[in-house]
Amino acid sequence: MMHPMFTHAGNGIARGSFGWIGLAYLIAHVLLWAAVIFIAAKLINKYLNKTGDTKKSTAAAEKNDSALMILRERYAKGEIDDEEYKKKKTNLEP
C-alpha cells in the first residue's frame, strides 16, 4: 500500500500540495537567484569602479599636491612656523 501523499486519492503531490517541501524549495530557489544577482552586481560594480579608480586617484593626488603647495607657500611667507609646517606636512603626505 502506498502512502496517501503519493496517491491520487491523497492530499499530496498528485493534487498539487507539496507542504513544507514545496515551501523549502521555494525559499531555496529565491535564495539561489538572490545570490546570483548579488554576485553579478558585485562583479559589475567592481568592473565599473576599476575604470573609475584611476580618475579618483588622480584627482586625490592633484588635491593633495595643491594642499602641499599652499602649505609650502604659507611657510615661505612666514605665516606658519617650523613645527606647524612639519605637523601639517605629515598629515597631508600619504
Residue 29, classed as helix, strand or coil, is helix
Backbone angle region of 68, left / alpha / beta, with phi > 0 → left and psi within -120 to 50 → alpha:
alpha
- pLDDT for 3 equals 55
Helix (H, G, I), strand (E, B) or coil at 2: coil
pLDDT at 67: 83
Model pLDDT for residues 30-73, shown as the tens digit of each residue = 999 999 999 999 999 988 887 655 555 666 666 668 888 888 89
**pLDDT band for position 17 (cuts 50, 70, 90):** low
- Quote the pLDDT of residue 32: 97
Quote the pLDDT of residue 25. Answer: 87
* Confidence at residue 89, expressed as pLDDT on a 0 to 100 scale: 86
The pLDDT of residue 11: 52
